[in-house]
């Protein structure tokens, strides 16, 4: 065959080959575009998730908004003097105005049109000197009269629908009857009054100068006749040295607060009828100008002449004694505070000063949401029960204001810092999103949830990392190929186990078993490594003719009886160890030493979640070690290195990027795990490194509370923030893992 004939036979430009090349090139381009579009789609999906979560979360960090409506000057208002009390009913349709003669004028909030006028049963020639409302939302008030008497009343609003029209009709009730009760036997004007209704007990108090008066009324009902009567008791309280400026009563009728002098509070224990203590409320030359309780009546908000507002409440000290304690401070401006308006459903409040500046605040979040000038001078205001309407009066005209303040409870300090909540003895990290009572103070700190997430992941990785990495190295480097083909699929099959099954097993079986065999579990963790090392040492001392009977790479099978024997020994000795060293009960022994024990704790989570994470780490790390070129291994051995030296100085270094990726992926799996931590822990959001205490993770919290949260509420958006924190943490971890993996690959690429 000639050379020309051979060339013709090897022609690569035939039409058939050209068509194949074109088809192959088309498939390559299609695959390249498909992979590129798929990768961009994944990045786009992750970006959209971030933007959606941020879109839901961002509104909770926005401030409040005020919208001033046109001022109203109804003809019936005339040039009357400043009212004693303004109030708005639930539907934001009817407002109420109380003057010194006891006239209750009800009018339309929208246009100030007069609706009805009621008169309090005040004797002829007597006027109202002072007025005080019961806790926010009660619609009860007490008026102090110029003859030393007091009258308690409650405003109710009846809703009817004649001819399909909504009609709101105001009505007045008198808890103590229509006859005023005598507070000051001398008949002097009551300059300040206070009232508190707790169940069937009504406590009223008043002051004349520096003299304090208090009456307690208890309603008794005759079971036979059905009639009820009031039992009156006069309380003998120590007198005050300085002129009284304000009186407030705790809703539980435990404490009576008397603001007197320039900036002093005397606190009386109503159970013991004694003085609890005298407290200085302000620093420097500032004086108290107004005082008001927050929702629930536990906190006192003290306004001063320098434009500041301080929050105080009773706190137990180290000796168990309750003391009035300063908690936090707000600043409206530099003018004296004239009025504090607490919200009826949240721990927020509004404040007015002499310049007509209005401030919107929230106590728990320690947040100033808005300060804005709304009047030309000092006025009086009312806040609606829904906290979305404000009515101000000054100089014979009304100023209606719309308020938008949907999420005042959230601030960075409330989410991540320690917060001093009411009735707590110190600032703490607390997550408690719901409660049974209406004066609940939301506790939405993400710190215990984040801590619980990291705690669960730490203990899971503490168990999984050494087992998974060591197993991966041994399987890929030392194990016989035939045995490896059986072991690796079995371990990877563990990954297919549903986590809900693992959580169910951990919660119903593992947790009680660990509690009943606690000494055995810890002795197992100590004896198992020692038993394996001892078995390996004994194997190395056996005659060579015995050791050679086991093929290379099959030595691991000999550890099966060792593991079973050590496990049975450790768990079987648990009861004896508990009797010998822990007095028969290790839980009680731990409790006596200040270490609390919960049945579902971090130890159970570490065991269960570690079992779930092991297959992820093992599979990736084993592939990385097995993928190390054999030429590197053979070259190292040929140069005289031992198998162990080759493993530690060549194989592991070369496979380190893959091993590190396995650890990061395992960490991400542990951080995002939901069902195991949901079922294997007590779901207690506490910050305690104790391995015997429970925890709550971000993922489990979202899974538990999201179905019960109101869409668009603060709780709902905070749960989305928790999801955003979890996603951001996973994203940052994976990004750092990829950067470190790339650097390790470049560093050891020359091996």
Tens of pLDDT, residues 564-600:
999 899 988 888 888 888 888 888 898 888 888 888 8
pLDDT for the residue numbered 236: 84
Residue 301, classed as helix, strand or coil, is strand
Residue 401 has pLDDT above 90, yes or no: yes
CB 593 within 8 A of CB 581: no
CA distance 16 to 20: 6
pLDDT, one tens digit per residue, over 220-252 is 776 666 576 778 888 888 878 888 999 999 988
CA distance 68 to 399: 7
Q: Which two tokens stand for residue 63?
A: 């401030």
β-bridge mates for residue 444, sequence order: 431
Q: Which two tokens stand for residue 146?
A: 């110029």
Q: Which two tokens stand for residue 402?
A: 């719309």
Q: Which two tokens stand for residue 491?
A: 């371990």
CA distance 306 to 290: 12
- Nearest residue to 733 (alpha-carbon basis) of 675, 661, 676, 677: 661
DSSP characters over 260-281: ETTTEEEEEETTTTEEEEEEE-
Q: How far apart are the first and last CA of the chain?
A: 49
Residue 598, classed as helix, strand or coil, is coil
Residue 74 has pLDDT above 70, yes or no: yes
pLDDT for the residue numbered 9: 58
Residue 336 has pLDDT above 80, yes or no: yes
pLDDT, one tens digit per residue, over 266-295 is 999 988 888 999 999 998 888 999 999 999
CA distance 452 to 224: 58
What Cα–Cα distance (Å) separates residue 348 from each residue in 293, 301, 441, 489, 665?
11, 11, 10, 59, 44
φ, ψ dihedrals at 205, nearest 5°: -145, 150
CA distance 420 to 422: 7
DSSP state of 650: I
CB 204 within 8 A of CB 183: yes
- Nearest residue to 740 (alpha-carbon basis) of 653, 661, 626, 625: 661
Residue 5 has pLDDT above 60, yes or no: no
pLDDT, one tens digit per residue, over 136-195 is 888 899 999 999 999 999 999 998 888 888 888 999 999 888 999 999 989 999 999 999
CA distance 34 to 41: 10
- Nearest residue to 722 (alpha-carbon basis) of 684, 696, 694, 690: 696
Q: What is the mean pLDDT of residues 486-495?
A: 87
Structure pTM?
Answer: 0.87
CB 158 within 8 A of CB 171: yes
pLDDT for the residue numbered 733: 81
Geometric angle at alpha carbon 559, from 554 and 565, rounded to 5°: 155
Cα-based torsion angle of the residue sequence 421, 424, 430, 433 in order, rounded to the nearest 10 degrees: -60
CA distance 381 to 358: 10
What is the separation of C-alpha 407 from the centre of its chain, rounded to a whole number of angstroms? 14
- Nearest residue to 395 (alpha-carbon basis) of 697, 645, 78, 119: 78
pLDDT for the residue numbered 634: 84
CA distance 303 to 316: 24
Residue 79 has pLDDT above 70, yes or no: no
Neighbours of 476 (CB within 10 A): 21
* Residue labelled with tokens 């900036």: 263
What Cα–Cα distance (Å) separates residue 501 from each residue in 269, 540, 745?
55, 41, 38
């Amino acid at each position: 065959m000639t050379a020309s004939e051979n060339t013709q036979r090897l022609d690569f430009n035939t039409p058939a080959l050209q068509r194949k090349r074109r088809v192959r090139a088309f498939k390559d381009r299609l695959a390249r575009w498909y992979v590129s579009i798929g990768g961009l789609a994944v990045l786009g999906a992750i970006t959209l998730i971030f933007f959606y979560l941020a879109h839901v979360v961002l509104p909770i960090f926005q401030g409040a908004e005020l919208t001033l409506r046109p001022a109203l000057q109804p003809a019936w208002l005339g040039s009357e003097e400043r009212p004693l009390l303004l109030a708005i009913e639930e539907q934001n349709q009817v407002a109420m105005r109380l003057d010194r003669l006891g006239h209750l004028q009800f009018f339309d909030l929208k246009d100030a049109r007069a609706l009805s006028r009621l008169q309090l049963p005040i004797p002829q020639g007597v006027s109202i000197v002072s007025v005080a409302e019961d806790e926010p939302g009660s619609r009860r008030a007490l008026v102090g009269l110029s003859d030393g008497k007091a009258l308690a009343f409650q405003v109710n609003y009846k809703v009817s629908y004649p001819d399909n029209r909504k009609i709101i009709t105001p009505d007045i009730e008198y808890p103590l009857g229509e006859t005023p009760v005598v507070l000051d036997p001398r008949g002097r004007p009551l300059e300040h009054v206070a009232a508190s209704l707790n169940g069937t007990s009504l406590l009223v108090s008043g002051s004349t100068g520096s003299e304090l008066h208090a009456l307690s009324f208890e309603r008794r009902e005759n079971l036979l006749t059905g009639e009820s009567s009031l039992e009156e008791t006069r309380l003998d309280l120590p007198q005050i040295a300085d002129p009284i400026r304000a009186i407030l009563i705790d809703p539980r009728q435990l404490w009576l607060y008397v603001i007197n002098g320039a900036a002093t509070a005397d606190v009386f224990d109503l159970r013991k009828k004694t003085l609890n203590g005298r407290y200085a409320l302000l620093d420097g030359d500032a004086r108290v100008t107004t005082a008001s309780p927050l929702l629930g009546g536990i906190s006192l908000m003290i306004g001063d002449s320098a434009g500041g507002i301080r929050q105080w409440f009773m706190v137990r000290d180290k000796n168990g004694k309750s003391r009035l304690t300063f908690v936090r401070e707000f600043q409206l401006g530099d003018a004296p505070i004239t009025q504090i308006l607490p919200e009826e459903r949240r721990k927020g409040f509004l404040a007015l000063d002499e310049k007509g500046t209005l401030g919107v605040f929230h106590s728990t979040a320690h947040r100033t949401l808005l300060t804005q000038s709304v009047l030309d001078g000092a006025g009086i205001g009312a806040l609606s029960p829904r906290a979305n309407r404000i009515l101000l009066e000054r100089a014979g005209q009304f100023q209606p204001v719309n308020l938008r303040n949907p999420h005042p409870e959230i601030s960075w300090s409330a989410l991540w810092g320690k917060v001093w909540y009411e009735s707590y003895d110190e600032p703490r990290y607390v997550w408690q999103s719901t409660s049974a009572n209406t004066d609940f103070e939301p506790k939405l700190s993400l710190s215990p949830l984040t801590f619980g997430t990291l705690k669960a992941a730490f203990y899971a990785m503490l168990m999984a990392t050494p087992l998974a990495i060591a197993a991966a190295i041994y399987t890929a480097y030392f194990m016989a190929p035939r045995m490896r083909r059986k072991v690796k699929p079995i371990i990877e099959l563990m990954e297919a186990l549903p986590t809900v099954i693992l959580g169910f097993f951990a919660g119903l079986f593992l947790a009680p078993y660990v509690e009943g065999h606690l000494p055995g579990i810890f002795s197992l963790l100590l004896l198992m490594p020692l038993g394996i090392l001892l078995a390996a040492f004994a194997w190395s001392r056996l005659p060579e003719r015995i050791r050679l009977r086991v093929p290379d790479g099959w030595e691991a099978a000999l550890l099966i009886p060792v593991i079973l024997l050590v496990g049975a020994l450790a768990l079987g000795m648990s009861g004896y160890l508990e009797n010998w060293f822990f007095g028969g009960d290790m839980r009680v022994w731990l409790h006596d030493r200040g270490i609390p024990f919960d049945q579902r704790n971090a130890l159970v989570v570490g065991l269960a979640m570690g079992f779930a994470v092991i297959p992820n780490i093992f599979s990736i790390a084993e592939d990385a070690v097995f993928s190390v070129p054999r030429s590197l291994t053979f070259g190292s051995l040929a140069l005289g290195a031992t198998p162990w030296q080759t493993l530690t100085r060549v194989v592991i270094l070369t496979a380190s990027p893959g091993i590190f990726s396995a650890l990061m992926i395992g960490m991400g799996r542990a951080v995002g795990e939901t069902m195991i931590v949901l079922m294997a822990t007590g779901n207690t959001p506490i910050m305690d490194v104790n391995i015997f205490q429970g925890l709550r993770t971000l993922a489990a919290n979202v899974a538990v509370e999201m179905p019960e949260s109101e869409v668009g509420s603060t709780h709902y958006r905070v749960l989305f923030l928790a999801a955003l924190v979890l996603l951001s943490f996973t994203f940052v971890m994976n990004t750092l893992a990829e950067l470190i993996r790339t650097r390790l690959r470049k560093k050891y690429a020359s091996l």
